[in-house]
């Protein structure tokens, strides 16, 4: 049987989380950390829409540190960032890879920044095809289409020729913060929040 003391940490955990959530919301800051999934996309897009409704003229900061995840979930965040009226600052930290790089590119280049130790990863989509031969063939075609789509997005947002991007994403391509600036994924490297206004 639990004592009264055993239940106190659980009772205080929820108000603390609510407090942090409220503070983050009021500061117009969202976090995308970890694997991108449908639930992450639903949570982020819901918050983006709410913040946009609250003050469509004020910027929203999104901190991204993610290895990627479900491509279509990244697509959902990417499209909502462009759908809303509020300007969005994408701030890379830790590492930004795969589908996370795709959603990172939703912001215009001048609003894409990163912290000094951020690493970026671009590559072609992958999949674990299984089942009947015809289903495997369909999945393979869809991966090829996704590869083309991602390559065109990277080319458009970085200014790189499409053939260069296709070659670059053939295998994992890692970029440091400085290399990401040179490649066009990021406009500049910042160290402090005050530099976002610069």
Length of the chain: 198
Is 152 part of the annotated catalytic residue set? no
Between residues 43 and 133, the one the model is more confident about: 43
Percent of the chain, pLDDT > 70? 87
Contact between 113 and 190 under an 8 Å Cβ cutoff? The reply is: yes
User: Is 102 one of the catalytic residues?
Assistant: no
* Domain spans, the chain: 20-126+170-190
Query: Phi first, then psi: what are they for 98, rounded to 5°?
Result: 55, -120
Average pLDDT over residues 190-198: 87
pLDDT mean across residues, the chain: 88
Model pLDDT, residue 159:
95
Catalytic position from the list 123, 126, 152, 187: 123
Mean pLDDT, range 26-47, rounded to an integer: 95
pLDDT 10s digits, 103-131: 999 999 999 999 999 999 998 776 555 56
CA 32, distance to chain mean position in Å, is 6
Of these residues, 98, 102, 152, 176, which one is catalytic? 98
- Measured from the Cβ of residue 166, the count of other Cβ atoms closer than 10 Å reads 18
Specify the CATH number for 20-126+170-190; select among 3.30.300.30, 3.40.800.10, 3.40.640.10, 3.90.226.10: 3.90.226.10
């Amino acid at each position: 049987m639990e004592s009264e003391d055993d239940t106190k940490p659980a009772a205080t955990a929820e108000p603390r989380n609510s407090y942090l959530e409220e503070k983050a919301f009021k500061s117009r800051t969202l976090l995308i950390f970890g694997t991108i999934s449908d639930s992450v996309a639903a949570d982020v897009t819901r918050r983006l829409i709410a913040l946009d409704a609250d003050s469509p003229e004020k910027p929203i900061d999104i901190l991204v540190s993610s290895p990627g995840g479900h491509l279509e979930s990244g697509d959902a965040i990417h499209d909502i960032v462009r759908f809303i009226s509020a300007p969005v600052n994408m701030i890379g930290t830790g590492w930004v890879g795969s589908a996370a790089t795709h959603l990172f590119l939703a912001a215009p280049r001048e609003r894409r920044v990163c912290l000094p130790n951020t690493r970026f990863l671009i590559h072609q989509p992958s999949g674990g095809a299984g089942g009947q031969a015809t289903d495997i063939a369909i999945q393979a075609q869809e991966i090829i289409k996704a590869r083309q789509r991602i390559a065109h997005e990277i080319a458009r947002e970085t200014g790189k020729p499409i053939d260069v991007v296709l070659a670059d994403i053939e295998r994992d391509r890692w970029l440091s913060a400085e290399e990401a600036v040179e490649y066009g994924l990021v406009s500049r490297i910042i160290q402090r929040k005050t530099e976002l206004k610069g």
